[in-house]
Amino acid sequence: MEMPDGTTDIVHPEVRAHINSLVSALGGISADDDGRYNLGDDALEVLRDLKKWIRFYDEKTNRMDVARCIAEANLIDGDLLPILATWPENSTDNKFRSRIALACFEIMVPLTWPMERDPEQTTVNHHRHMPALQLAQVGYKRSIINFDGARILHAAARVALPAMAAPIGERTPRDQGIIKLVLFFLRNVAMIEPQPNVKYEGEESQISRSATIDAFSYQDIFMVLLTIASNMGEDFRTEDVTIMEIIYHLVKRVDVKKLFMSEQQVNKAKADELSVMMGKENAMLKAQNRKGPTRHNRFGTVIWVKRADGKMTAVSGQEALVDVASRRKKMDETKKFRPPAKARSKTDSHMKDLGELPKLDARAYSQLRSFVEEFLDAGFNPLFEHVRKSIDREASHVLSYHRRQFLYLVAWFLEAERTRKSSQRASAPKNSAEEVSSFNLVAAVLNQSTFITLNRTMTQAWEHKDWPELTASMRCLTQILLTVQEMSHSPNEDDQEIAENTLSRLFYEDAMHDLIANVVRQYKEQGFDYLDAATELTHHFLRILEAYSKQNVDMQVRSRRRTRRKKKAAKEASADGEGDEDEADDSGDDEKNAELTIKERKFDFRRFSARFTPQGVVDTFVAFTKFYKDLSDEQLKRAHRYFYRVAFKHDASVMLFRVDIVHLLHEMVKGPEPLDKASSMYKEWEELAKQILRKCFKKIDERPALLIEMLFSKISSTAHYLEYGFEKQTISTSRPRPAADLEFKYTEDREQQIAIAVGVLLDKSQSDHIAWVKTILTNAEQERRALAAAEDILPSVEATGDHDEPVDKPADSFMPYTARPDNDARQAAMFKNPHLRLLMRLAGLERLAPTLDESPDSLWVVPASATPDQLRETLDLINKAEFSPPVFEEGVLAEHQLRRKTATRKKAQRSVCASAAARDPAASGSDDDDDDDAARARARARRERERAKLEKIKSQLYVAASDDETDDERDAAFFAREEAQRTRMARAAAAGVDVSEVAVPAARKEPQSIAVGDDDDDDVLLADIHGAGTDEENEDGNGEEASASSSQEGRKRKGSGVVDADGDVEMDDEDEDDLPVPSARPRKRIKGGFVMESSDEE
């Protein structure tokens, strides 16, 4: 909006004026009181008005104007934090200050709430305000954790402390709301980070991970997290995922190995990293100096290079003068490939969620290590067991990204526990009696329930193509395998037995084997994090499974497959012919007859590991090895072991005989930028490359065709031929499929349909098929006319009675006429030619046994129901279409009038295809692709459910002000009732009436769970119980009406009853007699306003 001075304001002036006036009315710093902040007269109401503006203007209208005005007004730095500083830490009875502090946090939580761009709800205001508000949130975090006047995070914990101290059964919805509000505030503070592509003007050390960890430790927030986590499930229930989120944003991407190092070890590790980086820099500089500038570099250099084919190529630049390799590289660099733009993948958002690698100082390492050790000792099992149960039951407070965070944290803490145990073993004396091998501290994630959740999550992530969640699942499974393997090596026999049982459960399901083989085989640009997790899981899974299968020779695996129930007509047919009816009843789609079969089979490790030798898995590890300059020794060892397994253990070295793979191996050892020779893996990679190249040259001498095949990827049959010199002798067990059925797009008229089918065959020069169909129909017609004529001439021998009556001939008295193919090509066409099959069906031909699976040898017949006249009519239609084919618009053929029949596909069939593709990678095709529209619809539905959950959580961020003890309306109602009571007492005294006879409303506090009503400012409690409040809010200022309604409510709610929506009371008849009868209290006699006491009553 244009301002009077010519500038443009992106916020409406009235909104800005209202916000600025409220900020001004809140208070300010006093110059007379040593710079302390003085609250305004209506500070609490001002804070509530600001909360209403945020809620009803920004959130309801999906705008960010109020938040932008508050950021520009410097509300948090200039007002809210100084207000919180005025609340003394030793003040426990100052309820007004505690209510002011709660109102401040109610404003800060929505202002620090994480912002994400939702493409379906993003408006112009989001693009205007979001960058500025993200920078403002970083400033909020800097001010909150570095504020000198008070410990802000500690003040938040003090606000929630009274609610947390109450037993869970006695907490009101307001208490639950306060606890969640404070936890969300801590989550937001831990989560806020500078945007990776935005330059932050302040000092980054004040908002770094180290500063956050130091603030959480100094302000006792770690103790709050440990208290809630260790009591999860007993005193806390719905706070599980919020605690998990806070811990996730504190420990994500923290190097576990450095976390449990001493300060000297950390310094040594940093020195080693520095030396490695300096070595890489020197190698890079040497490579550059070889083709560095000369004294003639100020002049342009252009040379002609003669290629092998005799053609000349112009190359410019000083690099072309160095050597042949440099010239060739310069020529390759001129070739530019511009791939098409691709949609942004989910991996980018995942990496954005993880953030960059944190740089922690020694103090932060020490504080975080202390917290992690205490959390593993006391809070890991209760918290993660409760979170898993919440995820399994899909609780309303669980969002989709919570599963990913849960799996990531399980993997992180399992690695932390193993690292801690190894450091304890290294530091403990050899003869120490302390037990360090017990894994009971992480037992909550090593049970069967966790394995079921993990398997289901991996399967769903694979089907929905949710790569970040699948990456977290793979890392979790890897750490579980490593932890169980360490348990198996423990000197404790109980741990060994538990490890044995755990591995047997992990390796028992064949579906897990299929999933891992699919994941590593079908890698396609899902990001390096996914690539690293997939290769790591494959490496450890194969290694541990191989060792386990050697120890357990009789290992069994369970496979689930869907098979079709084949009906055996010979067994089910009965003598009275009922078998034919049964057969007709079961002639439906074979997919309906699919049933789940579970069987066990003996496990063969060599057969299973051979599923990791196809070209897809090799390409995955090649893509991983291309990052060899940035890989650690452990990652290089992982790739080296895989290539060694393929080349020498499985004798499938031909899968590595490809130009790019051979070039990669040469580059790693002898290239311009090879591996560091000081690395422990250099010798192993050098020997591997030498052996693979030696086998490659030897194989080229044996089979020169390999020179051509080195340019391409290899399927299993080609690899077998190149390796052994003959094709693999296999017996095909798959049943050939007939041609797909066709249907007409635009017409249902039989004559026009026959004309189109004949026209298609004529267009394809297949008139011989038309002639064969006409021959079949002609022979069938002649045979049936001869049979009909013979029956008319020869009287029936069995006919009796009056010969004048006609003899009824049944309609199916003709025998089916078999359509026999005249040659092998015709027989193949009857099975594979869809257009010939369409014409045969239109002519009335049917299969002899339609209930059985069709094969190339299946017989087609002219059914007995077809009369000679019907056959003649069909012949006439075919002849007519053959001599005058149908004509369509220009460029439109008869084939364009047909389309393939759509077959219904089921989820069970897709799972079967997925498992089959895992065993036969070459068999996977277009049938495995999911319907894009259905997939997008499911994804849209998931986003809608997620958005609804998030809106519900955000709408519950506001604690109802009607529950405060300083409600002006309740005070006014209380004084009105007192005034009404004094008025009645005065009237009774003047009239000389016994006041005991006057109806006096009994003061009765109703339970909060029964009172129903909405407060005046439309706030919503942060709880699942809606509409909870107190009766005083609904009372009117009139004393008499309030007394009458209160007395009626008191009479209604006597006894044990539940008030429904209409005000009725539901009571149990059996419980009526059990109610205690209140004893009548003696009434005091009052006369003239004075109580007449009697000594007899004492």
If you write DSSP's letter for every residue of 767-778 in order, what string do you get? HHHHHHHHHHHH
Q: Per mean pLDDT, which range of 537-541, 631-635, 786-790 is the poorest? A: 786-790
Q: Considering the chain, what percentage of its residues have pLDDT values greater than 90?
A: 34
According to the model, what pLDDT value does residue 46 have? Answer: 94
Q: What residues form DSSP beta bridges with 802?
A: none
pLDDT tens, residue by residue, 29-77: 887 767 789 999 899 999 999 999 998 888 888 889 999 999 999 999 9
DSSP string, 843-886: TT-EES-TTSPP-TT--EEE-TT--HHHHHHHHHHHHHHHHS--
Considering only residues 675 and 474, tell me which one the structure prediction assigns the higher pLDDT: 474
According to the model, what pLDDT value does residue 694 have? Answer: 93
pLDDT tens, residue by residue, 763-789: 888 889 999 999 999 998 888 888 888
According to the model, what pLDDT value does residue 303 have? Answer: 78
On the question of pLDDT at 922 being above 70, the answer is: no
According to the model, what pLDDT value does residue 134 have? Answer: 92
According to the model, what pLDDT value does residue 380 have? Answer: 96
Considering only residues 272 and 805, tell me which one the structure prediction assigns the higher pLDDT: 272
According to the model, what pLDDT value does residue 787 have? Answer: 84
Backbone CA torsion sign across 380, 381, 384, 390: negative
According to the model, what pLDDT value does residue 47 have? Answer: 95
pLDDT tens, residue by residue, 926-982: 344 445 667 777 777 777 777 777 777 766 666 655 444 445 556 677 788 888 888
On the question of pLDDT at 144 being above 70, the answer is: yes
C-beta neighbour count of 161 within 10 angstroms = 15
- Average pLDDT of the chain? 78
How many residues comprise the chain? 1098
pLDDT tens, residue by residue, 293-336: 655 555 667 777 777 777 888 877 766 666 777 777 777 777 76
- Assign 1080 a pLDDT band (cuts: 50, 70, 90): very low
According to the model, what pLDDT value does residue 624 have? Answer: 95
On the question of pLDDT at 381 being above 90, the answer is: yes
Q: Per mean pLDDT, which range of 25-29, 502-506, 561-565, 658-662 is the poorest? A: 561-565
According to the model, what pLDDT value does residue 733 have? Answer: 64
Considering only residues 732 and 637, tell me which one the structure prediction assigns the higher pLDDT: 637
According to the model, what pLDDT value does residue 1058 have? Answer: 37
According to the model, what pLDDT value does residue 286 have? Answer: 72
Query: CA-to-CA distance for 92 and 104, rounded, in angstroms?
Result: 18
Query: CA-to-CA distance for 1023 and 956, rounded, in angstroms?
Result: 7
- Assign 5 a pLDDT band (cuts: 50, 70, 90): low
Query: CA-to-CA distance for 854 and 837, rounded, in angstroms?
Result: 13
Instruction: Please answer whether residues 387 and 237 qualify as being in contact, where contact means their C-beta atoms are separated by less than 8 angstroms.
Output: no
According to the model, what pLDDT value does residue 428 have? Answer: 67
SS3 state at 293: coil
Q: Per mean pLDDT, which range of 380-389, 502-511, 1065-1074 is the poorest? A: 1065-1074
Structure tokens at 967: 């409600």
Query: CA-to-CA distance for 244 and 385, rounded, in angstroms?
Result: 12
pLDDT tens, residue by residue, 678-701: 888 999 999 999 999 999 999 998
Considering only residues 105 and 1071, tell me which one the structure prediction assigns the higher pLDDT: 105
Instruction: Please answer whether residues 901 and 742 qualify as being in contact, where contact means their C-beta atoms are separated by less than 8 angstroms.
Output: yes
| N-terminal to C-terminal alpha carbon distance within the chain | 80
Q: What residues form DSSP beta bridges with 1090?
A: 1087
| Rg, C-alpha atoms of the chain | 41
Query: CA-to-CA distance for 748 and 418, rounded, in angstroms?
Result: 71
pLDDT mean over 807-830? 76
Which of 361, 423, 399, 355 has the alpha carbon at shortest distance from 191? 355
According to the model, what pLDDT value does residue 904 have? Answer: 52
Which of 71, 159, 153, 164 has the alpha carbon at shortest distance from 110? 71
pLDDT mean over 622-629? 93
SS3 breakdown of the chain: % helix, strand, coil, rounded to 5? 60, 5, 35
Structure tokens at 249: 């944003």
The top-scoring range by mean pLDDT among 607-611, 641-645, 1047-1051 is 641-645
For 1086, the enclosing helix (H) or strand (E) is strand 1085-1087
Which of 1016, 1049, 1044 has the alpha carbon at shortest distance from 1031? 1049
Burial of residue 796, with CB atoms counted within 10 A of its CB: 0-12 exposed, 13-18 middle, 19 or more buried? exposed
- Assign 438 a pLDDT band (cuts: 50, 70, 90): low
